[in-house]
Structure 1
Amino acid sequence: MTTLVEVLLTGLSLGSVYALIAVGFVVIFRACGVMNFAHGSLLLFGGYLTAVLHEPLGFLAALAAAVLAAAALAGLIELLLMRRRPTETHVLAIVTIGVDILLLTELARRIGPDVLDLGDPWGAGVVSAGGVTVAQSRVASVVVAAALVSLLFAAFRWSRWGLAMRAAAADREAASLMGLRLGRVRLIAWCVAGALAAVAAVFLAAFPTPGLDRATGEIALRAFPAAVLGGMDSVPGALVGSVLIGVTQAAAAGYQRSLGTLGEGLSDVAPYLVMIIVLLIRPRGLFGTREAVRV
């Protein structure tokens, strides 16, 4: 029973981190219809800056600087590469793959074989209750993710940007004809996604993970199945998908010994197996919007 509770708590904490990344995928997709495959490199960029700056500046100031820098880099990508865009969104998706390769290559060169410490305040601390032990960083990830996602939902609901975002997601052409500045909507969406990715990097590199290395950006892409199976245009779907992916991955790792040879490496591929199964049943994901087609 203890193992089950620990698996569920670990899965929830993993899901909360994946939610920060998956929501970034969804926000960009809702704003401009593009799947941003450069998201992992934005996360690694934010984590790298936090690791480099935390000694001279302190953790909170380093994280704030990394969040702003990641948001600025994401906005720069949108301005330089996405703004003068072709009509085919799949071309833009390919462009983001190229950007991802360039950024990951440079960041991997800078990080090298090292494992970087981000200087987070939780360290190796744990919380124990009823025989269940959970890392403090995992508890913090749930709290921070809940706060940031709630803030984003409030922005969607009450801000002018959120209204413009919902209008653009419903009908970009009509929104443009009504005078909405879709360029600004897209720019803010990219900046928000970059900022969330930088925050997620802290928790991906925190204990019990050894730290940030050059493979962290690739690990972050496990959140992509969460966005897809939840529905690429649905923020609630991204949250549900992230929890589902997190619990599945934690269960595959927690019960690996019970599965014998079948369990070896299962936690690494489990997110993609879940995504494939869900998409075979519901091609638009669990909460994806159905397109109305006139006949």
Structure 2
Amino acid sequence: MTGLLDNVLGGLALGSVYALVALGFVVIFKASGVLNFAHGSLLLLGGYLVAVLHEHLGFAGALAAAVLATAAVAGAVDRFLLRRGEQDPRAAHVQTIVTIGIDILLVTDLARRIGGDLLTLGDPWGDQVTDLGPVTVADSRLAAIAVSAVVIAGVFALFRFSPWGLALRAAAEDIEAAALMGVRLVRVRTLAWCLAGALAALAAVFLAAFPAPGLERTTGQIALKAFPAAILGGLASPPGALAGSLLIGLTEALVAGYQSELHILGEGFADVAPYAVMVLVLLVRPAGLFAARGAARV
């Protein structure tokens, strides 16, 4: 029973961090129709900036600087590299492909800088643990759950109550009608990319924290595990991204925790479990768990 509780808490912590990444996929897709495959490299960039700045600025200062810088880079990627030929109806598909190239360039440069090192981010939790009854939990996991809950609640409030959130929802419903109603689509799109970059930088801190050994050049690949979470939720649904992330996080933690009982599936199955869940769900719900039903006129 203690092992089950430990795995569940670990899964919730992992799922809450995946939710930060999955929300980035969702807001970009809602604003521009682009699947941002450069999201993992933005996450790695944010973590790298915290790692190199925390000795000079302290952890809080380094995190703030990394979040702002990653948000600015994400906005610049959209503004200067993607928004060419935007009038072409196939622009979103072309831009999705371009993000793959951008990801390769960023990851290559960051991997060269990191090399084979494990970088510490100077987070205040370190390797401290807390006893919650029979379960011992790393403080970094508790912090991940708490911080992610606050940030996700703030993002949801932004969607629901801010003028930008209203404009984003209007553009996602009908971009042409939104433009005719005076919605500044360029501003909506740029802010969406900046928000996604900021969320990715924040997620990097918890993905590199204990019990992880630190930030390494492959850390950005973890963002690919949040992609199934966004797909499961319907790709354009923030609540769906949250639900999908928790499902993926719990699945990965439980499979890893009970790997010996699941040896028939092969070692390392926890790494592919998120994709297996995605395939199984999409077989039943091809549009995702929270996809909006389209109206048809006869």
TM range (shorter): over 0.9
Question: What number of residue pairs does the alignment pair up?
Answer: 295
1:253 corresponds in structure 2 to 256
2:23 corresponds in structure 1 to 23
1:218 corresponds in structure 2 to 221
- Alpha-carbon separation, structure 1, partners of 2:15 and 2:186: 31
* Deviant stretches of 4+, over 4 Å: none
Q: Secondary structure at the match of 1:210?
A: coil
Which digits, 9 at most, give the CA deviation of each residue in 1:50-83, with x for residues without a partner? 0000011100000000000000000001101232
After TM superposition, list the pairs within 5 Å mapping 1:114-129 onto structure 2: 114-129=117-132
Deviation at 1:261, TM superposition (A): 4.6
1:11 corresponds in structure 2 to 11
Q: Secondary structure at the match of 1:133?
A: strand
Q: Secondary structure at the match of 2:261?
A: helix
- Alpha-carbon separation, structure 2, partners of 1:238 and 1:289: 13
Identical residues among aligned pairs (%): 66
1:156 corresponds in structure 2 to 159
What amino acid is aligned across from residue 196 of structure 1 in structure 2? Answer: L
- Alpha-carbon separation, structure 1, partners of 2:292 and 2:103: 28
Q: Secondary structure at the match of 1:221?
A: helix
Deviation at 1:263, TM superposition (A): 4.5
**Equivalent pair of 1:21/1:220 in contact (CA under 8 Å):** yes
After TM superposition, list the pairs within 5 Å mapping 1:1-295 onto structure 2: 1-84=1-84, 85=86, 86-88=88-90, 89-295=92-298
Q: Secondary structure at the match of 2:80?
A: helix
What amino acid is aligned across from residue 295 of structure 2 in structure 1? Answer: A
**Equivalent pair of 1:257/1:263 in contact (CA under 8 Å):** no
- Alpha-carbon separation, structure 1, partners of 2:54 and 2:99: 29
- Alpha-carbon separation, structure 1, partners of 2:132 and 2:153: 27
Please give the root-mean-square deviation of Cα atoms over the aligned residues, in Å: 1.0
- Alpha-carbon separation, structure 2, partners of 1:267 and 1:5: 18
What amino acid is aligned across from residue 160 of structure 1 in structure 2? Answer: P
Which digits, 9 at most, give the CA deviation of each residue in 1:76-104, with x for residues without a partner? 01101232323212211101111001100
Deviation at 1:292, TM superposition (A): 2.7
Deviation at 1:220, TM superposition (A): 1.9
Deviation at 1:179, TM superposition (A): 0.9
TM-score by length of 1: 0.98
Deviation at 1:260, TM superposition (A): 2.4
Deviation at 1:21, TM superposition (A): 0.2
Instruction: Specify every segment of 5 or more residues in structure 1 that has no aligned partner in the other structure, as ranges.
Output: none
Deviation at 1:289, TM superposition (A): 1.7
**Equivalent pair of 1:18/1:200 in contact (CA under 8 Å):** yes
Higher mean C-alpha deviation, range 189-198 or range 254-263: 254-263
- Alpha-carbon separation, structure 1, partners of 2:166 and 2:153: 16
